[in-house]
Amino acid sequence: MKKEKVYAMEFSRIYPLLLQKVERKGRTKSDLDTVICWLTGYDGAEVASQIEKNVDLETFYAQAPQIHPNAHMIKGVICGVRVEDIEDPLMQKIRWMDKLVDELAKGKAMEKVLRK
C-alpha cells in the first residue's frame, strides 16, 4: 500500500498554518490548542514538545495519548471527501483535525466543535 505524502509532513510546519487560519477568523491559539488537545489527548505542553521535536503527522498521531472517544461524531466534508467515510485510520484522524479547525475558523461554538 502506498504511503501518503501527508503522513511525512512535519506537524511543526502544519501547526502555524492552522494557527493562521483560525486567527484570521478571530479565534485564538488557545482555541486551536483546545481543539488539538481534545482530539488527541495531548496537553498543551505535549503539543509544544511534538512541535519542538519536528515529528511527522504519522508519529504525532501514533504517539497521541488517546483519540477522543467522541471523535467518531465528527462528520462532514473536507477536501471533497466525507470524513466519516475515510477508511484509512491515520488519514481519518488527519481529516478530523482539518474538519475541527475548519469549524473553529467558521466561528462555530466551541461546545459544538468539541461534540459536547
Q: What is the pLDDT along the chain (116 residues), one digit of tens a residue?
A: 456 788 999 999 999 999 999 999 999 999 999 999 999 999 999 999 999 999 999 999 999 999 999 999 999 999 899 999 999 999 999 999 999 999 999 999 999 999 97
Q: Which residues contact 46 (CB under 8 A, 6 or more apart)?
A: 65
Q: What is the DSSP letter of 3?
A: P
Instruction: Report how far residue 104's alpha carbon sits from residue 110's, in angstroms, rounded to the nearest whole number.
Output: 7
Global pTM reads 0.92
Task: Concatenate the DSSP letters of all residues of 35-85 into one string.
Answer: HHHHHH---HHHHHHHHHTT-BHHHHHHT-S---TTGGG--SEETTEEGGG
Q: CATH homologous superfamily of domain 7-109? A: uncharacterized protein sp1917 domain (1.10.8.290)
Q: Looking up cell 482555541, which residue turns up?
A: 31
Distance of CA 1 to the CA centre of its chain: 24
